[in-house]
Amino acid sequence: MISLRVDLICASGEIMFQSEPQKNNHSPLQNLEEWEDFLKQRYPESGVVAAKPFQAIDPEKKKEQFRNYEADARPTVREFYRQNHRHQTNEFGRNKRREFLSLNRRRMGIWEALEYLNTLVDDSDPDTDLTQLEHLLQTAEHIRADGHPRWFILAGLVHDLGKILCLWGEPQWAVVGDTFPTGCRYSDKIVFPQYFSDNPDSLNPQFQSASGIYQEGCGLSNIQLSWGHDEYIYHVTKDYLPEEALYMLRYHSFYPWHRENEYQHLTNARDRELLPWVQKFNPYDLYTKNHAKPDVKALRPFYNELIAQYFPDKLNW
């Protein structure tokens, strides 16, 4: 059935209601990059890698147009967040951990996993036309060009490998999206916080105090974040990479923490010590995409050696 899009616009011009877009299923995004492009709108480039001028996704768009990020969001992105906030309950995250973290689906080397991820066919990203492998190589190459340690480059290469969850039939809202703690109050700095009213956890008073089911200062490793590609890749790699890299992998989508400074009361001293590494990584993830395709064949020997330095031939996925 084809649904018609209806937007109600209030006096201030804010969109109050949008009917669901026509592609209304568990893949509302045209491609996973649509979510990341939205993040780029929400967090325009500044600071660490700010030497380059601001580059909007659509070069015609001016920076000022990105200020009201929620109103600017495409209907597909809104629908994606609506599903994410509605379905990512504490129980859902627990069940997914049980389902996937025994890592008994496949045995693959890192490069094999990169090629496997590259079979993910969603509509290509019209803004960059990059494959998943090319995005990961671009991220890693920018980190390398800035002279960072080898494990940092490697973190760039593998950080999105958890998106292979999509190849196993997982809906977009259970693979990507800014992550947030479940089992305690939602920060209003999380994008589209209004959609949490559809989440059953919002009716559970135990889950809605500031610390919820957690002890203040218990540390992020004791907090159950919403489930997605970050947590998954952390578990696949946790025996092989330095802790700094593992923080980058596990928390790179935890924008409420690393960009909004929320949930400090749940962190411990170690989290606070390692936060700057997560923040150092973020610009490479968000702002290094461009049309210059990396030469995969030429780069392969360097990355083969780098992968072999840290990882065994095969890992459990």
Residues lying near Fe ion in the complex (CB under 5 A)? 160, 285
CB within 8 Å of 230: residues ≥ 6 apart: 162, 179, 249, 250, 251, 252, 253, 254
> Rounded distance, CA 74 to CA 59, Å?
17
Nearer to Fe ion, 231 or 285 (CB): 285
Nearer to Fe ion, 162 or 181 (CB): 162
Nearer to Fe ion, 78 or 135 (CB): 135
Nearer to Fe ion, 178 or 285 (CB): 285
Question: Is 282 strand, coil or helix?
Answer: helix
Residue keyed to tokens 């939205």: 38
**E strand segments, the chain:** 7-9, 15-18, 107-108, 315-316
Q: Which of 86, 71, 56, 54 is nearest to 15 (CA)?
A: 71
Residue keyed to tokens 């492998």: 133
Nearer to Fe ion, 165 or 184 (CB): 165
Nearer to Fe ion, 133 or 275 (CB): 133
Minimum Å gap between C-beta 135 and Fe ion is: 6
- At 315, give phi and psi (nearest 5°): -125, 160
Q: Which of 178, 181, 261, 179 is nearest to 213 (CA)?
A: 181
Query: CB–CB of 178/153 below 8 Å?
Result: no
Minimum Å gap between C-beta 216 and Fe ion is: 29
Minimum Å gap between C-beta 253 and Fe ion is: 6
H or E segment and range at residue 94: helix 90-100
Nearer to Fe ion, 45 or 285 (CB): 285
Nearer to Fe ion, 34 or 285 (CB): 285
H or E segment and range at residue 7: strand 7-9
Query: CB–CB of 45/63 below 8 Å?
Result: no
- At 164, give phi and psi (nearest 5°): -60, -15
Q: What is the identity of the amino acid at 99?
A: E
> Rounded distance, CA 292 to CA 272, Å?
35
Question: Is 6 strand, coil or helix?
Answer: coil
